[in-house]
Structure 1
Amino acid sequence: MVGSVAESLVTNDNFTLPGNDSIIDMDARDKARVEVVAALTLLVGIFQIILGLVQFGFVVTYLSEPLVRGYTTAATIHVTVSQLKHIFGLPLSEKSQPLSLIYSLISLFRRIHNTNIGTLVVSTIALLCLFAVKEVNQKWQSKLPMPIPIELVVLVISTGVSYGINLHEQYGIGIVGNIPTGLLAPTVPKTDLFFQVVGNAFAIAVVGYTITISLAKIFSMKHGYKVDSNQELIALGLSNLTGSFFHCFAVTSSMSRSLVQESTGGNTQIAGSISSLIILVIILKAGELFTALPKAILSAIVIANLKEMYKQFMDIPALWRTNKYDLLIWIVTFLSTICLNLDIGLGVSVIFGLLTITFRTQLPQYSVLGQVFDTDIYRDICQNTMTKEVDGIKIFRTSSAIYFANAELYAQTLKAKVGVNIDLLIEKKKKAVMKRKRGLQKVITLAQRILSNTKKGSGLEFLMNKEAIVGSLQTLSETIPNPPTLQSLGLERLSFHSLILDFAAVCFIDTVGIKMLKIIFEEFKDIEVDVYLVNCPGSILRQLQSSRFFNETFTPALIFPTIHDAVSYLSQTHESSSLQEVTAI
């Protein structure tokens, strides 16, 4: 990412020599690119420090383990492909755009016939030695006083052989070459370049942090320690801020180097400190000792240490058996990172991970609960044969929050689970009420006609008709309770009188969910079913109160702390009501 920014802002066209457009002033061009990179790195460091101070590290919570493992597996393939040109000794250019991995492989296979045989032989021997000794280290770990430092041994031997035989001149094997020694004097990066790189700087700051925290999470899970995401962010920012004054480019954790250090037993900050001191010595004085080191050896060491990362492909069958959502996150993260590169692939992966959360809450698990025999425990009647529904009471549970994305589905599933077509029953009741009203209106109209006709007759006849009509109207009105019941309208009563909504798993409810909940209360009240809430968290109760959910009809008395409390109360209340009805009869 850093290189693409430098190349896009500082092109070759601006540094051609006067009078000859085919010759480029490489020194001037590289100096200008270094200035751009230094300014970019300074901005990256500032962004990371600011983000760390404002606790931006919380975003790591959205990097689930399947996402991190899918991302690092794809990054492993990117690293492997980037090293193949040194393994085969092919001069391939670096690419950073989307599908760069595919383009790199195509370029590799097109030029595979130009493979440097000497380089391939050196790479193969190094890989065989590395894999063999690593297997020995792993198999005889308990008997060895310390792991055999095969990487160091291979480096020393290959450098000596390359220098003695002159592999570069004799067989055309690529070597590290001249390593400039010493450090440049610190300078302040050009601030006038900030506006040109500010957007890229923020993107690099986020991507660099994500790569670092992803590797940190992998190693922390493996070795059992905790990672402070904000501390990592600030440390990364300070590294970039300081490095920008010494013409360094933006840094992040190196997967290959981290795996090499971890595989050789370096698990503490002491190992990092010693490694840094050795690199400093090499930069200052010992650089010429590694001039003859074949690049193929370095690539072989990197690839050999990626073996453990490739084992993460075994996550696929494990996730297939346990959780299809996590498997989908792993695969989408892997494919998007492979195809779209590390930066865009990361963004796509995080967005997809957030979408799966929406899908999971939008399509939660709904269940009707029954009482486990002779206990106060209630479980899903479809998954437990030891449960039985409480007579006259339906208990409904959801496994998710209730909000705009699933509120309507919650109501629809509730109506389907209780086994009654609520909407049809309400419609029948409305039609029955309207029919009764029309019948009553006809009687009233007929009575008015009779009374108007009898006024012309004798006074006695008028009074007798009036008393008869008034008595009939009174009898008719008494048959229609206010409000009318299902039984009085000739409709069949439901098999249950109470509905309990278990909110134990409801972590929040928004305004749309509250409105839908109120509609549920009103509709079931209309068909003579009382609705109760149980296991409501305090936050849900506060939301209901602030939204003015409660009124004279729906009071806080409809809320119980547990399912069993509500069942016990409703069972006793219904038994008392039934006994009073029998006594009245």
Structure 2
Amino acid sequence: MDECFHENDYHVSRRIYSNRVFDQVHERQAQEIQSLRERLSRACRCTDKWAVQKIKGLLPILDWLPKYPVKQWLPGDVVSGVTTGLVCCLQGVAYALLASVAPVYGLYSAFFPILTYFVLGTSRHISVGPFPVTCLMVGSVVLTLAPDEHFLRPVNITGVNETAREAQRILVACTMTLLVGLFQVAMGLMQVGFLVRYLSDPLVGGFTTAAAFHVFISQIKTIVSVPIHNHNGFFSFAYTVIASAISHVMDLNSQYGASIVHSLPRGFALPQIPNIALTGNILGSSFSTAVVGYAVAVSVAKVHAAKHDYTVDGNQELIAFGVSNIFGGCFSSFVASTALSRTAVQESTGGKSQIAGIISALMVMIVILALGPFLQPLQKSVLAGIVIANLKGMFMQISEVPVLWRQNRTDCLIWIATCLASIVLGLDVGLLAGLVFEMGTVVVRTQFPSCATLGNVPNTNIYKNMKDYKNIDEIPGIKIFKCNSPIYFANIDYFKEKLREEVGFDAVRVFKKRNKALKKIHKLIKKGKLQATENGLVPVASLGVENQAFEKEQVPELEEGASQLDSEVKVQVDWTSELPVSVSVPTVHFHSLVVDFSAVSFLDVVAAKSLKLVVKEFIRIGVSVYIAGCDGELVRRMEALSFFDEEVTRDILFLSVHDAILFIQLETSTGNDEDPLAEKDMVNILPVFM
């Protein structure tokens, strides 16, 4: 050992720990396993404090409203609420075009969901209401189940029965909205909000960009009727007022045939019961819409929560949006989520809480009750312009592709694949295809994990990939193999293949070749051509022929007599030297194999069985196998999978690679008949210098 220390060096002196010794010394505690009855009893136990927490968790307004700082937050919330309310009105009317329903229902969709989210939601900044992507998904279902062809007038009357068509279309939209809400509430109650984490940012980015493309295409036919310029944000309200006035004064509808809103009746529609008979046709679309709407909303909510230092409860958000959609579906609304641009307006204009949201709902209510008719002459091309202008943020996501390519090509491929699939196959199937592709990349990355042979930095307990560094050494007689992935049924064969590559031989083939050589050696001994001595195998001098000549002789009793000879004659063969028979036996240059499991998080049944077989294969050819770096949970999993037996014992487990290496070196120096870890107090054994 080098006794020259640098000022940043430190010296470690401790006992060598196998898992067995460590558990004994530090008194490993048995994991408490509760029965189902005990767990249910504990979960159903109710105290006053627990009840208050649950009620506040279900109704977050009871927690934040009593603490609301009126003087500090109310002025900003009022300004933000008024501004956001104007944007809500315009977007609600415009997004109704995407949902293929009358514009007034867009106003309802910008009003009713806010009321319930105000009570149940946990985000202080998102603006709840229509979102272009979910509106388009609703619209595609509406047009499928209620196309114009179903409402043609009799032969002698031309045109479409618009009254019946609009009634059926809003019925389809409301039924789908109710079903979306039920899905979201069910997922929230089952605490499965974490499933949305599988919708990664690249997948959502590619999907929303494709959705923006679909929205843009759907609005071209509307927007080209009258040439206009797109405006976004708060100024779109002033532009819309001017456009409405020009359309009314110049009578563009009758003079030039420009399509206008026509009807925005005052007041609210009566509640209606959705058509349950439609659920079978919209079940799949409703589930995908529920997932997309929630995923977008919770993503935006978490961005603003991180910015303003508070937390968002994902499961409670599912319940909040679910109840909002159920409530809205009963009052002629379509699916609610959040629009990125509308939320940005609410946050940037000073909004601090959902008080701004409820004020924006009051602004929408004023339009519904009083100002709706003033928007009736508004051209639909203007509304289409508003829709397209609000797609700017989604289209700008295309700029992320080159960045993703440089950072992580797999994530970039997920973005591109999801986008193309959603454009070509449609939003529902495209989202599913993108999700399958994303899961496939995860499987591929774990199915073909990186594996390496480790070497030691001299005089340290540091072990690194030998291909990455020059000044590291392979420990003589010991091979260290590391796998950087969980090991399960899909990658266990790859694990064994990489292990064979790194060690340089196949343990099964070595065993078979050695058996073949031993049988031939036994034949030669039986014929008197070889003699087994303490110094090894010695050829009989009087033989006068080469050993190879006897390889071709056929001995019928070979298979029956091999075991008998093995018991009668103890043959010591040095497998590293030249053999007296012409059998090519792969050379094994090490006596111990250490497998680093520090990066292995779990094993399944198939992997445990295969790994146990691999360990026994190495033991059969005289190579001791040690597993290092397993955490407690992985060890418990191995025990549950019956990994250990009389041959493969828990003594092969060590806390670290260095513990295993020191044990092997100590065992080699003291002999295999003694237990190195049982000597004295086992302290100051092979100190480590770094």
Partner in structure 2 of residue 406 of structure 1? 491
For residues 375 and 441 of structure 1, do their structure 2 counterparts lie closer, same or farther at Cα, with a shift above 3 Å needed? same
Report the Cα offset of residue 411 of structure 1: 0.7
Instruction: State whether structure 2 residue 561 is matched by structure 1 residue 561.
Output: no
For residues 35 and 86 of structure 1, do their structure 2 counterparts lie closer, same or farther at Cα, with a shift above 3 Å needed? closer
Q: Given the alignment, which residue of 415, 418, 421 partners 1:333?
A: 418
For residues 116-137 of structure 1, the C-alpha deviation after alignment (integer angstroms, 9 at most, x for no partner) is xxx22xx23x45xx5xxx8xxx
Counterpart secondary structure, 1:395: strand
Counterpart secondary structure, 1:205: helix
Partner in structure 1 of residue 299 of structure 2? 217
Partners of 2:629 and 2:655 within 8 A in 1: yes
For residues 21-53 of structure 1, the C-alpha deviation after alignment (integer angstroms, 9 at most, x for no partner) is 866544344434444444443333223212211
Instruction: State whether structure 2 residue 180 is matched by structure 1 residue 41.
Output: no
Partner in structure 2 of residue 528 of structure 1? 622
Partner in structure 2 of residue 315 of structure 1? 400
For residues 361 and 426 of structure 1, do their structure 2 counterparts lie closer, same or farther at Cα, with a shift above 3 Å needed? same
In the aligned structure 1, how far is the partner of 2:157 from the partner of 2:516?
Answer: 90
Partners of 1:257 and 1:302 within 8 A in 2: no
Counterpart secondary structure, 1:536: coil
Partner in structure 2 of residue 437 of structure 1? 522
Partners of 1:48 and 1:237 within 8 A in 2: yes
Query: What RMSD over aligned residues (CA atoms) do the two structures have, in Å?
Result: 3.3
In the aligned structure 2, how far is the partner of 1:549 from the partner of 1:476?
Answer: 31
Report the Cα offset of residue 215 of structure 1: 4.5
For residues 28 and 169 of structure 1, do their structure 2 counterparts lie closer, same or farther at Cα, with a shift above 3 Å needed? closer
For 1:513, give the aligned amino acid: A
For residues 197 and 476 of structure 1, do their structure 2 counterparts lie closer, same or farther at Cα, with a shift above 3 Å needed? closer
Counterpart secondary structure, 1:344: helix
For residues 166 and 27 of structure 1, do their structure 2 counterparts lie closer, same or farther at Cα, with a shift above 3 Å needed? closer
Of 506-515 and 157-166, the range deviating more from structure 2: 157-166
For residues 26 and 304 of structure 1, do their structure 2 counterparts lie closer, same or farther at Cα, with a shift above 3 Å needed? closer
Partners of 2:616 and 2:648 within 8 A in 1: no
Of 246-255 and 499-508, the range deviating more from structure 2: 246-255
Partners of 1:79 and 1:256 within 8 A in 2: no
For residues 573 and 247 of structure 1, do their structure 2 counterparts lie closer, same or farther at Cα, with a shift above 3 Å needed? same
Task: Give the helix-richer structure, 1 or 2.
Answer: 1
For residues 274-325 of structure 1, the C-alpha deviation after alignment (integer angstroms, 9 at most, x for no partner) is 3322222111110122223333333333333433333322222222222121
Larger Rg: 1
Q: Given the alignment, which residue of 150, 154, 158 partners 2:239?
A: 154
Instruction: State whether structure 2 residue 375 is matched by structure 1 residue 239.
Output: no
Report the Cα offset of residue 560 of structure 1: 0.3
Partners of 2:172 and 2:278 within 8 A in 1: no
TM-score, length-scaled by structure 1: 0.76
For 1:205, give the aligned amino acid: F
Structure with the larger RCO, 1 or 2 (CA within 8 Å, 6+ apart):
2
Report the Cα offset of residue 521 of structure 1: 0.9
Partners of 2:446 and 2:491 within 8 A in 1: yes
Counterpart secondary structure, 1:394: strand
For residues 517 and 375 of structure 1, do their structure 2 counterparts lie closer, same or farther at Cα, with a shift above 3 Å needed? same
In the aligned structure 1, how far is the partner of 2:460 from the partner of 2:153?
Answer: 91
Partner in structure 2 of residue 55 of structure 1? 191
Partners of 1:184 and 1:246 within 8 A in 2: yes
Partner in structure 2 of residue 548 of structure 1? 642
For residues 290 and 474 of structure 1, do their structure 2 counterparts lie closer, same or farther at Cα, with a shift above 3 Å needed? closer
Partner in structure 2 of residue 506 of structure 1? 600
Q: Given the alignment, which residue of 178, 191, 197 partners 2:263?
A: 178
For residues 476 and 224 of structure 1, do their structure 2 counterparts lie closer, same or farther at Cα, with a shift above 3 Å needed? closer
In the aligned structure 2, how far is the partner of 1:25 from the partner of 1:420?
Answer: 79
For residues 346 and 321 of structure 1, do their structure 2 counterparts lie closer, same or farther at Cα, with a shift above 3 Å needed? same
In the aligned structure 2, how far is the partner of 1:261 from the partner of 1:475?
Answer: 86
Partners of 1:263 and 1:305 within 8 A in 2: no
In the aligned structure 1, how far is the partner of 2:164 from the partner of 2:208?
Answer: 37
Partner in structure 1 of residue 500 of structure 2? 415
In the aligned structure 2, how far is the partner of 1:17 from the partner of 1:163?
Answer: 30
For residues 29-79 of structure 1, the C-alpha deviation after alignment (integer angstroms, 9 at most, x for no partner) is 443444444444333322321221112322112111211111122222222
For residues 40 and 82 of structure 1, do their structure 2 counterparts lie closer, same or farther at Cα, with a shift above 3 Å needed? closer
For residues 263 and 208 of structure 1, do their structure 2 counterparts lie closer, same or farther at Cα, with a shift above 3 Å needed? farther
Instruction: Name stretches of at least 5 consecutive residues in structure 1 with no aligned partner.
Output: 90-118, 135-148, 445-472, 581-585
Partner in structure 1 of residue 223 of structure 2? 87
For residues 555 and 360 of structure 1, do their structure 2 counterparts lie closer, same or farther at Cα, with a shift above 3 Å needed? same
Report the Cα offset of residue 201 of structure 1: 3.5
Partner in structure 1 of residue 104 of structure 2? none
Report the Cα offset of residue 400 of structure 1: 0.8
Alignment map for 1:347-496 (pairs within 5 Å): 347-442=432-527, 480-481=571-572, 486=575, 490=579, 494-496=588-590
In the aligned structure 2, how far is the partner of 1:313 from the partner of 1:75?
Answer: 13
For 1:529, give the aligned amino acid: V
Partner in structure 2 of residue 163 of structure 1? 248
For residues 223 and 317 of structure 1, do their structure 2 counterparts lie closer, same or farther at Cα, with a shift above 3 Å needed? farther
Instruction: State whether structure 2 residue 666 is matched by structure 1 residue 572.
Output: yes
In the aligned structure 2, how far is the partner of 1:579 from the partner of 1:557?
Answer: 15
Of 397-406 and 156-165, the range deviating more from structure 2: 156-165
Of 287-296 and 500-509, the range deviating more from structure 2: 287-296
Partners of 1:213 and 1:229 within 8 A in 2: no
Report the Cα offset of residue 479 of structure 1: 5.3
TM-score, length-scaled by structure 2: 0.65
Partners of 1:74 and 1:338 within 8 A in 2: yes
In the aligned structure 2, how far is the partner of 1:432 from the partner of 1:489?
Answer: 12
For 1:504, give the aligned amino acid: S
For residues 492 and 301 of structure 1, do their structure 2 counterparts lie closer, same or farther at Cα, with a shift above 3 Å needed? closer
Counterpart secondary structure, 1:224: helix
In the aligned structure 2, how far is the partner of 1:276 from the partner of 1:474?
Answer: 94
For residues 31 and 301 of structure 1, do their structure 2 counterparts lie closer, same or farther at Cα, with a shift above 3 Å needed? closer
Instruction: State whether structure 2 residue 295 is matched by structure 1 residue 197.
Output: no
In the aligned structure 2, how far is the partner of 1:476 from the partner of 1:297?
Answer: 97
Partners of 2:505 and 2:586 within 8 A in 1: no
Partner in structure 1 of residue 290 of structure 2? 208
Report the Cα offset of residue 394 of structure 1: 1.1
In the aligned structure 2, how far is the partner of 1:173 from the partner of 1:264?
Answer: 35
For residues 427 and 340 of structure 1, do their structure 2 counterparts lie closer, same or farther at Cα, with a shift above 3 Å needed? same
In the aligned structure 2, how far is the partner of 1:229 from the partner of 1:579?
Answer: 59
Partner in structure 2 of residue 447 of structure 1? none
Report the Cα offset of residue 536 of structure 1: 0.7
In the aligned structure 2, how far is the partner of 1:247 from the partner of 1:579?
Answer: 83
For residues 223 and 176 of structure 1, do their structure 2 counterparts lie closer, same or farther at Cα, with a shift above 3 Å needed? farther
Counting aligned pairs with the same residue, the percent is 37
Report the Cα offset of residue 510 of structure 1: 1.0
Counterpart secondary structure, 1:158: helix
Counterpart secondary structure, 2:426: helix
For 1:175, give the aligned amino acid: I
Of 286-295 and 433-442, the range deviating more from structure 2: 433-442
For 1:72, give the aligned amino acid: T
Report the Cα offset of residue 343 of structure 1: 1.4
